[in-house]
Amino acid sequence: AGTGGWLSTIETDPGENWETQLTAVQPLGLIGIIDPPRPEVPAAIRAAKQAGITTVMITGDHLGTAKAIAKDIGILESGQQAITGHDLSQMSDEDLAANIADIRVFARTTPSDKIRIVKAWQKQDAVVAMTGDGVNDAPALKAADVGIAMGITGTDVAKNAADMVLTDDNFATIIDAVAQGRTVYQNILKAVEFLISVNFAQIFTMLLAVLVGWGAVMTPEQLLIVNVLADGIPGFFLSRELAEPGMMHLKPIPKAASIFSNGLGKRVAVRTTTYVGLILGIYFVGRFVVSPDVPGIGMTMLFLTLAIGSMLDIFPIKTRGRLNWSAMTVNPILTGSLLLTMTVIVALATIAPLQQIFQLAPLTAGQWAIVLGAIWLPMLVVETYKRRQHRHELAPWRQATLSDSAE
């Protein structure tokens, strides 16, 4: 059992009255039986550890067998504990919760033991995922934050109690699911950051313009174009970004964490402030400086700066690390949608019939030069903010990216 297997003896038949003739038994040999873990499990355990996920073994096997297997696949390491259900029964719920982080193997356990283990981890504010296949696993599957039942060997009771069913009964699939979940969550954060920043900028721009006596600086049609084309389409494809390097080297997000934690709220504030200052400044230059006698110049310059500038600002949002050419081109669908949308925006401002529909004025070469220079400002400001003022919040991401690159 100490090597993770089971032993059976081969003996000669002592005769019909074997119950009274046990002393005549003659051992002829031993047969060792082992049920080895799948080859991909050790790598999955390592990936889980790198992702900040603690893997715990709960089994009904002998303690020696459980420890041998746990050491073999990387669950049990030096300084960590392995206990039996009997040891567990001697511990109060408070003692178990206080020591749960040091225990990696629970052997000879009962269904009630499994529930206690789940609740002990939950008392440590951990998100607990529990796997199981039998009827006796159902209570623990139900108590866990995420109950995971085996799809092939699992009973109907276990499947009904679980939140997720593994169709291949493979532990490595759970780690793949975690990676996909983290990617989806990060993409949601990126889309929220982009859409909230641009929409807040529009709201505050319109409000401040009215307060200073400029009136409406954009028409409803122009606002609709910005929201549908410049924000909506790129925002949709931004949500389909691939996983960034280092994703599975970050710690899990706490259950109580706000969506605006980890600096998202600060980045939204920086983006919104930059947008508002820039587009109001552009409007002022167009209306009162370069062409005070030509109506619509300030509004057109504001429209182009906001629409194209916000789309360029997607690139710093795409990556939490340093912006580079690879990060800008990794999603060709997003890049293509941005180029197409920018082409449409420029067409609205240069084709006469479209200019009339959307109340845009033709710009001179000098006015276009001002717009083309201004549209890069939000991206540069945000990228500078990421690199300098935000280092302590992005350090884990950059370190994780370096870890992925090293591998």
Question: CA-CA distance, 262 to 252, in Å (whole number)?
Answer: 12
pLDDT of amino acid 18? 53
The answer, as to whether pTM is greater than 0.85, is no
Helix, strand, coil percentages for the chain (3-state, nearest 5): 60, 10, 30
Q: Where along the chain do its domains lie?
A: 5-11+27-174, 182-406
DSSP-assigned states of every residue in 190-257:
HHHHHHHHHHHHHHHHHHHHHHTT---SS-HHHHHHIIIIIIIHHHHHHTTPPPPTTGGGSPPPPTT-
Q: What average pLDDT does range 365-375 have in this prediction?
A: 95
Domain 5-11+27-174, CATH class in plain words: alpha beta
Question: What tens digit of pLDDT does each residue of 36-71 get?
Answer: 888 899 999 999 999 999 999 999 999 999 999 999
pLDDT band at 393 (very low <50, low <70, confident <90, very high): low
CATH homologous superfamily for 182-406? Calcium-transporting ATPase, transmembrane domain (1.20.1110.10)
Question: What tens digit of pLDDT does each residue of 261-318 get?
Answer: 777 888 899 999 999 999 999 999 999 998 888 889 999 999 999 999 999 888 888 8
Return phi, psi of residue 166, to 5°. -85, 115
Q: Which residues of 115-148 are buried (b: 16+ CB within 10 A; e: fewer)?
A: bbbbbbbbeeebebbbbbbbebbbbbbbbbeebb
Please indicate whether residue 13 or residue 133 has the higher confidence score (pLDDT).
Answer: 133
Question: What tens digit of pLDDT does each residue of 125-147 get?
Answer: 999 999 999 999 999 999 999 99
pLDDT band at 2 (very low <50, low <70, confident <90, very high): low
Asked whether the CA dihedral 212, 216, 222, 223 is positive or negative, the reply is: positive
Please indicate whether residue 174 or residue 30 has the higher confidence score (pLDDT).
Answer: 174
Contact indicator for 184, 177 with CB cutoff of 8 Å: no
Q: Which residues of 225-239 are buried (b: 16+ CB within 10 A; e: fewer)?
A: bbbebbbebbbebbb
